[in-house]
Amino acid sequence: MDKEELWQTVLAQIQFNISKASFSTWFKNTGITSKKEDKVLISVPNNFSKEWLENKYGKLIFKILHGLDNEIKEINYIVNRSGLKIKKPSFSVKEIPQLEFEEFKVDKETNLNPRYTFESFVVGSFNELAQAAAWAVSQKPGLVYNPLFVYGGVGLGKTHLLQALGNEISENFSKKNVKYFPSEKFISGVINSIRNRTIEDFKEKLRQIDILIIDDVQFLAGKEKTQEEFFHIFNSLYEKNKQIVLSSDRPPKAISALEERLRSRFEGGMIADISLPDYETRLAILKTKSQERKIFFSDEIYEYIASNIQKNIRELEGALNRLMVYQKLQNHTLDLESSKNLLKNIVSPPRRAISPKKIIKIVADFYELKEKELLANSRKKEIVKPRQIAMYLFRKELKSSFPFIGRRFGGKDHTTAIHAYNKILKEVKNNENLIGEINELKQRIYSV
C-alpha cells in the first residue's frame, strides 16, 4: 500500500467510528506526507485540526495505522498551510465510498430504529424461544406473555429483538402507543422529572403507553427511586393489559439490588434467554448480512470468520464490516489470505492493558461510588464490599502484592488487603450474584 492508499483506508475506517459532521470537520484536507521506516507524518490544514487529531483521534489513528502496517510505531502531525503538497488522492474525502449503512433514523415518537426487524433477525436454536415469544407478543400485544423478559450476554441480539417487536407492532397497530427506552434513558427521565418537579406529568405520559419496552434493566439495580416509580408504572400498565417487554444481561433473580417486588413482577411473565449461536448459525448470519448489503465473499472467507469469531454476533458483524470496507474500497474480491490479515486484530485481539487506576474507576462507576469513597476508610457496608471487590481484582487481575494493594487503598495495612481478598475469594464460590457482578466488572475492565 502506498501512503495515499494507506491514508484513504484509514479515513474509510474512521468514518465508521465518528459522526459525519466531525469527520468532515477534522479530516478534510488531511493526508500522509511521508512514511519513513516506523514514522508517519500526517499533514493537517491548521493548528486547530492538529490539536484535535492529536488529542482526540490520535489513539484511533494510531490503532488503525498500526493495524494496517505494524511497522508503524510513531505518528507526527504537521500543519501545512499552503494546502496539501501531496499528490492528489485518487478520490477526495467526500467521495470515499460509503457503504450503505442506514443512518440512525430513530423515530422520535417511539425511539425505535427501523433497521431492526424480524426479517433481518436470523433464528437458530440459540434464540428461537426468545424470537417466538417476541413474535407472539407482537401479534397480540398485552394478551400472551406479560411481561416478556429476554436475557442474554452482550451482542447477542436483545436490542435487535426488542426493537423488531416494537417496529412490528407500530406497523400493524398504528393506534397503539409504543415506546422504547434504553434503561439509562428511563432512569434519567425519572431523575430529571423529579428534579424539575414534573414527575407526575412524566408518569402520566408513561401511563398512556400501550407497549412499554425497556432495554437492559440490569442498570436499574441499586437505583431505588427509579425502581419505585417503575414499580408503580408497571402495575398501572399491567392492570390495563398493556404490554411490557424487558431485556437484561442476566435473569431477574441474578440482578442484585433489584427490589424483591420488582423481581417477582418480572418473573411473573415469560422469561426467555438468548445463548450463543452455533457455527452453522454464525455462517447463516454472515451470509444474511452479506445479502442485505450486496457485498459477497468466497465461502472459505465466511467459514474462516464463523469458525474464528464465536463470542457474539456484534463481533461477527464487525469482522464482516471490516472486510466489506476493504473490498469496496479496493474494488476487487478479497482472498482468504488478505482477509485473515485484515482480521488478525479481531481474531486474536491483544489483551487490553489494565491498570490500578482503571480498576478503581470501573469498580467505583459500577457501584455508583466516588473513587475517593472507595479509597477512604468508611466502614459503611455499601462501600466496604465494593472496596473488597476492587482489592480482589487488583490481586487477581493485576497480580499486585498485598502491601501494594493496602497502600493504594488509602494507606491500609497489608493484612487488610489479605483479608479482603480471602473474603471475596471464599464468597465468590457460592454467591451467584457476586459471580455475576465480578464477571461484569471483568468484562468492563477488559473491554475499554
- Where does this chain bind Mg ion (CB under 5 A)? 158-159
Q: Which does 155 bind (CB under 5 to 8 A by kind): ligand ADP, Mg ion, none?
A: ligand ADP
Minimum distance of ligand ADP from residue 233's CB (angstroms): 23
- The angle that helices 3-17 and 58-68 make with each other, rounded to 10 degrees, is 130
User: Which residue's C-beta sits nearest to ligand ADP?
Assistant: 157
Closest CB to Mg ion among residues 178, 383: 178
Half-sphere exposure of 303 (CA within 13 A, CB side): 5
Q: Which does 406 bind (CB under 5 to 8 A by kind): ligand ADP, Mg ion, none?
A: none
Q: Which does 154 bind (CB under 5 to 8 A by kind): ligand ADP, Mg ion, none?
A: ligand ADP
Closest CB to ligand ADP among residues 6, 133: 133
DSSP element (H, E) containing 44: strand 39-44
Closest CB to ligand ADP among residues 100, 200: 100
Question: E-assigned strands of 60-112?
Answer: 74-79
Letter for the amino acid at 239?
A: E
Show the DSSP H helices in 208-298 as ranges: 224-239, 260-267, 279-293
Q: Is the dihedral of CA 233, 239, 244, 249 positive or negative?
A: positive
Q: Which does 156 bind (CB under 5 to 8 A by kind): ligand ADP, Mg ion, none?
A: ligand ADP
Residues that bind ligand ADP (CB under 6 A): 120-122, 127, 152, 154-160, 285, 313-314, 317
Letter for the amino acid at 11?
A: L
User: Which residue's C-beta sits nearest to Mg ion?
Assistant: 159
Name residue, grid cell 487529531: 53
Asked if residues 252 and 266 have their Cβ atoms less than 8 Å apart, the reply is yes
Minimum distance of ligand ADP from residue 275's CB (angstroms): 11
Task: Characterize the bridge pairing of strands 243-248 and 178-182.
Answer: unpaired
Phi, psi for 426 (deg, rounded to 5) = -75, -45
What single-letter DSSP state applies at residue 285?
A: H
For the beta sheet containing 31-36, the strands, ordered from the edge strand earlier in sequence to the opposite edge, are 31-36, 39-44, 74-79
Closest CB to ligand ADP among residues 23, 121: 121
Q: Which does 179 bind (CB under 5 to 8 A by kind): Mg ion, ligand ADP, none?
A: none
Asked if residues 301 and 334 have their Cβ atoms less than 8 Å apart, the reply is yes
Minimum distance of ligand ADP from residue 224's CB (angstroms): 25
Q: Which does 285 bind (CB under 5 to 8 A by kind): Mg ion, ligand ADP, none?
A: ligand ADP
Minimum distance of ligand ADP from residue 225's CB (angstroms): 26
Minimum distance of ligand ADP from residue 124's CB (angstroms): 7
Minimum distance of ligand ADP from residue 249's CB (angstroms): 8
